[in-house]
Structure formats: C-alpha cells, structure tokens
Amino acid sequence: MKYLYILILLAVMFTACTSTPETPQQQTQRPAAGPTAKDFFDRGVAFASEGEYEKAYDEFTKAIELDPDYFDAYILRARVTFASVSDVTVIEENFSGIIYNSAGRQATREQMLQFNKSIEDLDQALRINPEDAATYTRRGRVYAEIGDPDKAIADYNRSIELAPDEAARAFNGRGNANLDKGNIDAAIADFSEAVKLHPNYSEGFNNRGLAYALKGDADRAIADYNQAIRIDGDFALAYNNRGLAHMSKRDNDRAIADFNKAIELEPEYSRAFNNRGNAHANKRDFDKAIADYNEAVRLELQTASLYNSRGLAHANKGDSRSAIADFSEATRLDPNFFIAFNNRGFEYMEARDYNRAVTDFEEALRLDPNNTAIRRNLDEARRLRGR
C-alpha cells in the first residue's frame, strides 16, 4: 500500500562563536572547508525522500566515513537498503512489519543480500546506542523478512522491555512473527496489545482480523477489518481481506464489493483481481472470473492457485485445451500442487486421453496418498483405459 514519506527531523544546534578580524592574506591561505557528515546525511535524506535509494545510500555512506558513530546515518542507510528490495517503498519512522502478508513470501538471493546489509547497519546503530527500542523493532522486521521469526521475536521482546508504553509496533511485529510460526493465539494477544496501546492503529486491527480469519472466526475477522477501514478508509488490503472473509461465509456479493473497492484504491492490486475472480467463479460467472484472472496474470501474479483457478473456469466453459494449459502451468509453478495434477487428469479423462489421465492421477495420489477422491479418479481412468 502507499505510505507518506516520514523523514527524521534532527535538531540542529547552533554554536555562537567569536573571531578576530583576519587579514586578506590570512583568509586566502585558509583551506576551504569541505562537506561535513551532516551535509552528506542531509543529501541522503533528500534523495531518500525522492525514492532514489542508491544515491541516498551513497550519501549516508559518506557521512559514516566521516563519522563512524553517526547513529542516524546507520539507521537511514539500513532503511533505504531495506526499502530498495522490499514492499516498503518509502522511508517510514519504523519499518516494523506493520502489515502481515506472508502469502508466498520467499526472499530472493538479492533481497537476502540487501536484508543482511540492513541488519549489519542496525547492528552498528545498536553498538552506538544499545538501549534504542525502535532499532530493535526495525531489526526484528528485517529478521522476519529473511524468514527467521525466532530472532525477530527476540528483538521485539527487547524493544518491548525497553519501552513498554511505546511498543505498539513491536507488539504488532511480534504478532506477525507469531503468525509465521503458526502461533495464532499468541499473535492475537500481541495484536490486541498493539491496538490497546494505539487505538487508531489500523494495521494492528487488520492483522488481528487476519489472525481471526486463520482461526476460522470470520465474524471477528470482519469486525476487525471494519475497524481498520473506519480508521483508514483508503486501506486497500483491509478491503481485500474483508472480501475474503465475506467469501468464506459464501457472501460473494459483499466480497465482490470489497474487492472492487480494493481495486479502485490500488488499480494494480493483482491479488484483489485474483480474489474477485474466485468470487465470480463461485457465482458461476466464468467470463468475469476469467477476465479477472487474466488481469492478475497481466499484473505478473505468478501463483499455482491462480492458474489452477483459471483452468477450472475454462473447464467449466468447456474449453479443455485452455484448461489443460493452465493446469500445466500450475504444476510447473508448484510441482507439489496435487490438486492441479488431479484437475488436469480429469480433463485428459474427459478428452479420452486415458494414459495421460492415469499418469496425472498417479502423481496426484503420490503427493496426497490418503485422498479418496483422487483414488476414485485413478481407478476410473484405469478402468476406462482397459477398454
């Protein structure tokens, strides 16, 4: 989602000084003063505010070279490094995992390199000021991104210990890490603390709503998403998540309305297109479903479930060739996606290509050995092949 730029405002101390007049010869012999660490730091802030993270990184590096104990330069260099390869596209006061969204999250090699550089800078900041709670929160967020929720939780714990009355973001981040570990009840407790400390914390309500949704409590989830949207009417992710909760209650019309709003707010929100396509498919409006799936693909959402869903929509329209192509792409993206193997096998069986059907059902059953529906499909394909 979009965030406003929030820059650190540093207090500038002016020191009065007195001097005696100098002769012109003395003035010409004095060497010109070069840029200070503060000058380079300010340039970095200016570049960062424009989203020019590489230039900002270089300026913060120059500031650190002049002053190896420049705390704020380490903090902002860590931030621009993090922002350059993550979904955070601006510098915010604490890049502390404000929104939980781990679906398909897996850091690339380049992201891992940059995240580790960010951690190194935050380590240096803590060397300079080991009691800074916000820096532990920031580092916890980066640990969460590299897939180390235990280290993330340790940092959030330390942040909460140092500043318990200002720990809304740390509780929120720890809740995210607990969700990553599957500790849903602990996550709900953390998000509850976050919104207790910060009653207008829309992201905290959104994240607690997601935790309730994962527990299967759609009503509580919707109540939290409502609160998040009341606080921030432009919160596209909350609309998307509320749409999913409505869809889990088979209220596809309300779901579609929420996905519409999410897309209105963020026209390139690929997952909202995917989700709206699913809602249309639930209503058996397969043309609209396929149109939404196509848009999600155009926006470069590459998930096995998306191609599987579009394949099902094509199959329901009788377009077996397109269905098989989509199921094949789903199995390519996720070779363990047994549902797509089963669905492709069913299309092959409908096309009387029983050898390929048997091969797909066998693979699906290998991946999910206790699935009785796949077993029945395999038995039927073998029977038909034996004719």
DSSP code for 66: H
- The answer as to whether 204 is a domain residue is no
- The answer as to whether 293 is a domain residue is no
Structure tokens that stand for 107 in this block:
């850091």
For 115, the domain range is: 35-198
Tens digit of each residue's pLDDT (9 = 90 or more) over 164-191: 999 999 999 999 999 999 999 999 999 9
- The answer as to whether 158 is a domain residue is yes
Which residues have CB under 8 Å from 136's CB, separation 6+?
Answer: 126, 155, 156, 158, 159, 162, 170
- The answer as to whether 324 is a domain residue is no
In the chain, how many domains are there? 1
The pLDDT tens digits along the chain (387 residues) read 333 322 332 232 223 333 333 334 444 444 557 899 999 999 999 999 999 999 999 999 999 999 999 999 999 999 999 988 875 543 344 333 444 444 445 667 888 889 999 999 999 999 999 999 999 999 999 999 999 999 999 999 999 999 999 999 999 999 999 999 999 999 999 999 999 999 999 999 999 999 999 999 999 999 999 999 999 999 999 999 999 999 999 999 999 999 999 999 999 999 999 999 999 999 999 999 999 999 999 999 999 999 999 999 999 999 999 999 999 999 999 999 999 999 999 999 999 999 999 999 999 999 999 999 999 999 999 999 986
- The answer as to whether 352 is a domain residue is no
- The answer as to whether 120 is a domain residue is yes
Which residues have CB under 8 Å from 335's CB, separation 6+?
Answer: none
Check: CB of residue 95 under 8 Å from CB of residue 88: yes
Cα(100)–Cα(188) distance, integer angstroms: 12
DSSP-derived secondary structure for 156-213 = HHHHHHH-GGG-HHHHHHHHHHHHHTT-HHHHHHHHHHHHHH-TT-HHHHHHHHHHHH
Tens digit of each residue's pLDDT (9 = 90 or more) over 64-77: 999 999 999 999 99
The pLDDT assigned to 90 comes to 37
Q: Comparing C-alpha atoms, which of 201, 174, 198, 169 is closest to residue 188?
A: 174
Phi and psi at residue 166, to the nearest 5°? -125, 30
CATH number, domain containing residue 153 = 1.25.40.10
- Stretch (H or E) spanning 56: helix 53-66
24, HSE (Cβ side, Cα atoms, 13 Å): 0
- The answer as to whether 193 is a domain residue is yes
pTM: 0.83
- The answer as to whether 328 is a domain residue is no
